[in-house]
């Protein structure tokens, strides 16, 4: 039996953990459908999720037996197709459910899917191919340009949808893969400085201190960078600071609200702050052991927004309490830890890079999704892998599992 599981999954530890998490997710989706005034969408969601899980397992079974070379080969065409699809999405894309304003789906009639899910995986593969072919480590800013550009293209298209959550996942993918490819941490931090500066520039004095620290760090680090790179970084910081005000103004009011509400949800408790407050109320009232499976009143009486998709973790918090949330966080930690272990063991650079790309993507998803339910992160529409309701997302996540397992277990 164990041997059978071993042969089927190649990596039973990872696959059993993720399979268990998926089943747990289906159970929570079933619970999320148990509301006082039922509606057809949430009520049948668990069943549709189960069907997608079956399809995903079938895809997994096939994909783990595909030669590694095929996966490497498919990277370029799938990347091209993904980018084209993302472009098409901007034109004919449709919204879905409550996120109707975000055009992220392509509706083929019998099925609708999110091209950005495919794009994440293809981007991981193509960046992994690019970086694994390099002989030298990534030490200078110039070395980062090519992989960054590969990520920036789909990322930009996703932002135009606008799907901020998925865009953040692309950033996670890029940073994790660059890190694994050997670029110095200090360099990555320096690249991140303009982005941080963008947010700090709301207060001139804080930003002044910050820019001095960045310049000081660059001076200390001067022997590892070309001069023009240092100058470019400083200029980028200034550009970000001057851009911050117009950028803020160009945001739609609801986007501005989300950021303001993140800082203090009570500024608009019935509007933008409603979701965070209700989610925190649900999670907080769960206490140590929760209200009991299926029994959360916040959920039942419809106070929780998007409770079977983006806020599924709030249902876990309300019904299963801290015991449930801690176990769920631990499960994700184990899965991500396992990806790192597999990467560490892989002598093949391509395998390690793919695993780190998947790691980066999932880490962002978990942190942002779980963090927003308690106000740790601003609210962005980003699902929780394997748990949130969403057919194509579940399917593509399992494809990622299959690829991860496949590359890690290349004999």
- Residues found near other proteins in the complex (CB under 8 A): 36-37, 132, 134-137, 176, 179-182, 185, 270, 278, 280-288, 297-298, 300-303, 317, 321-322, 325-326, 329-330, 332-333, 336-337, 340-341, 343-344, 346-347, 349, 352-353, 356, 359, 363, 366-367, 370-371, 374, 376
The H-or-E segment that residue 106 falls in is: strand 106-107
Inter-CA distances, 360 with 5, 153, 302, 313, Å: 27, 18, 33, 20
Q: Smallest distance, Å, CB 363 to other proteins?
A: 6
The H-or-E segment that residue 107 falls in is: strand 106-107
Look at residues 51, 18, 23, 77 and name the one whose alpha carbon lies nearest to residue 392.
Answer: 51
Q: Smallest distance, Å, CB 43 to other proteins?
A: 15
Look at residues 46, 32, 26 and name the one whose alpha carbon lies nearest to residue 314.
Answer: 32
Look at residues 106, 6, 10, 25 and name the one whose alpha carbon lies nearest to residue 397.
Answer: 25
Q: Smallest distance, Å, CB 403 to other proteins?
A: 18
Number of neighbouring beta carbons within 10 Å of residue 371: 14
Q: Smallest distance, Å, CB 326 to other proteins?
A: 6
Q: Smallest distance, Å, CB 286 to other proteins?
A: 6
Distance CA 335, CA 319 (A): 23
Q: Smallest distance, Å, CB 365 to other proteins?
A: 11
Number of neighbouring beta carbons within 10 Å of residue 97: 13
Q: Which is nearer to other proteins, 56 or 364 (CB)?
A: 364
Q: Which is nearer to other proteins, 217 or 337 (CB)?
A: 337
CB-based contact 389:348 (threshold 8 Å) = no
| Secondary structure (DSSP) of 288-343 | TT-S-TT--HHHHTT-STTTTTTTHHHHHHHHHHHHHHHHHHHHHHHHHHHHHHHH
Q: Smallest distance, Å, CB 340 to other proteins?
A: 5
Q: Smallest distance, Å, CB 317 to other proteins?
A: 6
Q: Which is nearer to other proteins, 47 or 330 (CB)?
A: 330
Inter-CA distances, 181 with 26, 57, 203, 359, 365, Å: 36, 31, 36, 14, 22
Q: Which is nearer to other proteins, 45 or 339 (CB)?
A: 339
Q: Smallest distance, Å, CB 308 to other proteins?
A: 15
| Secondary structure (DSSP) of 205-232 | HHHHHHHHHHHHHHHHTGGGS-HHHHHH
Q: Which is nearer to other proteins, 366 or 396 (CB)?
A: 366
Q: Which is nearer to other proteins, 63 or 316 (CB)?
A: 316
Q: Which is nearer to other proteins, 235 or 330 (CB)?
A: 330
Distance CA 357, CA 338 (A): 14
> 């509606």: which residue's tokens?
39
Q: Which is nearer to other proteins, 106 or 364 (CB)?
A: 364
Q: Which is nearer to other proteins, 78 or 373 (CB)?
A: 373
Look at residues 92, 76, 23 and name the one whose alpha carbon lies nearest to residue 52.
Answer: 23
Q: Which is nearer to other proteins, 116 or 278 (CB)?
A: 278
Q: Smallest distance, Å, CB 371 to other proteins?
A: 6
């Amino acid at each position: 039996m164990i041997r059978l599981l071993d042969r089927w999954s190649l990596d039973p530890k990872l696959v059993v953990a993720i399979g268990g998490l998926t089943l747990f997710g289906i159970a929570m989706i079933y619970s999320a459908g148990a509301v006082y005034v039922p509606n057809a969408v949430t009520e049948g969601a668990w069943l549709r999720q189960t069907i997608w899980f079956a399809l995903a397992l079938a895809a997994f079974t096939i994909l783990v037996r595909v030669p590694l070379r095929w996966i490497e080969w498919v990277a370029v065409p799938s990347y091209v197709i993904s980018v084209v699809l993302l472009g098409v999405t901007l034109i004919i894309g449709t919204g879905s459910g409550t996120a109707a304003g975000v055009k992220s789906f392509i509706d083929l009639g019998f099925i609708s899917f999110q091209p950005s899910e495919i794009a994440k995986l293809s981007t991981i593969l193509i960046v992994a191919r690019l970086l694994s072919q390099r002989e030298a480590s990534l030490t200078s800013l110039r070395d980062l340009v090519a992989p960054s550009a590969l990520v920036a293209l789909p990322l930009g298209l996703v932002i135009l949808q606008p799907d901020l959550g998925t865009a953040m996942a692309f950033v996670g993918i890029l940073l994790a893969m660059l890190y694994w490819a050997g670029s110095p941490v200090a360099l990555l931090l320096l690249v991140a400085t303009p982005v941080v500066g963008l947010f700090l520039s709301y207060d001139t004095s804080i930003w002044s201190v910050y820019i001095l620290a960045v310049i000081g760090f660059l001076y200390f680090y001067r022997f590892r960078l070309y001069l023009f790179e240092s100058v470019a970084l400083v200029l980028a910081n200034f550009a970000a600071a001057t851009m911050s005000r117009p950028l803020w103004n160009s945001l739609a009011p609801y986007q501005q609200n989300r950021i303001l509400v993140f800082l203090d949800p009570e500024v608009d408790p019935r509007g933008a702050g409603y979701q965070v407050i209700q989610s925190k109320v649900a999670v907080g009232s769960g206490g140590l052991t929760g209200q009991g499976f299926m029994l959360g009143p916040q959920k039942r009486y419809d106070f929780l927004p998007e409770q079977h998709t983006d806020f599924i973790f709030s249902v876990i918090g309300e019904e299963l309490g801290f015991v449930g949330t801690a176990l769920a966080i631990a499960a994700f930690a184990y899965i991500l830890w396992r990806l790192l272990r597999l990467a560490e063991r892989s002598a093949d650079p391509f395998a390690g890079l793919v695993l780190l790309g998947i790691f980066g993507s999932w880490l962002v998803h978990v942190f942002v999704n779980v963090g927003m339910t308690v106000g740790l992160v601003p609210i962005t529409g980003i699902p929780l892998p394997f748990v949130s309701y969403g057919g194509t997302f579940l399917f593509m996540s399992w494809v990622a599992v299959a690829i991860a397992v496949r590359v890690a277990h290349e004999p």
